[in-house]
Amino acid sequence: MDRSKYDDIQPYFGEKFEEGKKRLLSRKEFIGAFIYMVSGGDFSAVATMTKAIEDSMVDVHSYDEFQHKVTAGFFIPAIIKNTMTGFSVSGGEKLDKDKGYLFISNHRDIILDCTLLDYALKINGLPLCEMAVGDNLMVNQLVEDLFRMNGGIIIKRNLPMREKYLESIRISEYFVETVSEENKSIWVAQKSGRSKDGIDKTQPAIIKMLYLSKKKEGVSFPELIRKCNIVPVANSYQFDPNDINKGREEVTKEHNEGKYDKKKYEDLISMVKGLRCPKGKVHVAIGEPLTGEYNTPEEVAEAIDSQIHMNYRLFDTNYLAYDYLEGGDRFKDLYKDLNKDEFIGKLSHLSDDVRKFVLNTYANPVRMMLEAKAKE
């Protein structure tokens, strides 16, 4: 694999990693702000933790070491402790630590979906993964440094149509080569952008681009899928800190012919809310590698979706929202301990269409699991 072809988009290596580390450590206020955010607003812990991270960074010289020592070693445990009432993992036991995998997951949170997978892999004693993130999130040099020091791969989104197509081919080629030639794993979302309506469907175009990136080399579609070692991942959150924001955005689009004027730092605000606000229980379900004979992108997308939908960890919030919208009590025993008035009441200030949209984001995973079970 010739990594020089991907220098502008791949994670930091060697000298670039050291330059990024130097810039990051020179901005103690940035590190302190991040620590304050994930530590539950504990000012007294900032100085001590900042010093601890600075000390640990002395022996960090690669994104893999950064992931283990800083992200999965400090930040994720702090987020779990301060913003979750429970974190659980299932699956992963059938994965080979000497192989690379292309993890394709549903996408609910900008940062946590991929970093929690890394933490889940660490729990299973498996190598951690690189992660694909959009360049729209790179609001400044320090944020880009943080992502790329943590194994981030930059997806260039704001390009003219022709350039965007060629860039999609290049990034797909990077995915295939990294997984099949270097035996390194990568996380990518099942579609562009987060699922704001709770409907998790894989875009076949993502699978098609993987194939097109290697078609010129004579690789058949079934062979390409085998090379990629695709593993579906299902992320489940009891509470989504950005549920109302997502609802307002999507309803605005519905009322404005798909148009929404996103503010400059809106994605950054969503990242911060996702990191520091309560999420209740969170579950990461690692599926099994796709081993069937697939002939079309649609077949692969359907196989990914089937595992994601069957591997949801549904919570009381999901069942309550489903029954509330359906006007029944089918799952009443599964949310009897949830304060219904409080959960529904927090949406009372919203317009009817936004409130219904938000509730559907919780109810839709129930519908998709029921649909997946009906197909068995």
Q: Is the pLDDT reported for residue 40 higher than 80?
A: no
**Within 10 A of 192 (CB to CB), how many other CB atoms are there?**
12
- 117 SS3 class: helix
Whole-number mean pLDDT of the chain? 93
Provide the pLDDT for residue 317.
Answer: 98
Tens digit of each residue's pLDDT (9 = 90 or more) over 301-344: 999 999 999 999 999 999 999 999 999 999 999 999 999 999 99
Pairing label, strands 185-189, 84-91: unpaired
Predicted TM-score (pTM) of this structure:
0.95
Q: Is the pLDDT reported for residue 37 higher than 80?
A: no
Tens digit of each residue's pLDDT (9 = 90 or more) over 151-208: 999 999 889 999 999 999 999 999 999 999 999 999 999 998 888 899 999 999 999 9
259 falls in which pLDDT band (50, 70, 90)? confident
The Cα 303–Cα 190 span in angstroms is 12
Mean pLDDT for 56-80 is: 93
- 261 SS3 class: coil
Tens digit of each residue's pLDDT (9 = 90 or more) over 337-349: 999 999 999 999 9
Residue 37: its H or E element: helix 28-38
**Within 10 A of 248 (CB to CB), how many other CB atoms are there?**
17
The secondary structure of residue 136, as a DSSP letter, is G
The Cα 149–Cα 70 span in angstroms is 10
The secondary structure of residue 335, as a DSSP letter, is S
Provide the pLDDT for residue 63.
Answer: 96
Which residues of the chain are in CATH 3.40.1130 domains? 3-11+84-310
297 falls in which pLDDT band (50, 70, 90)? very high
Taking domain 3-11+84-310, whether its CATH number is 3.30.70 is answered by no
The Cα 73–Cα 38 span in angstroms is 13
Tens digit of each residue's pLDDT (9 = 90 or more) over 223-257: 999 999 999 999 999 999 999 999 999 999 888 87
Tell me whether residue 349 is exposed, middle or buried, using C-beta atoms within 10 angstroms of its C-beta: 0 to 12, 13 to 18, 19 or more: exposed
The Cα 327–Cα 298 span in angstroms is 34
The secondary structure of residue 12, as a DSSP letter, is P
Provide the pLDDT for residue 140.
Answer: 87
The Cα 10–Cα 63 span in angstroms is 11
The Cα 40–Cα 232 span in angstroms is 32
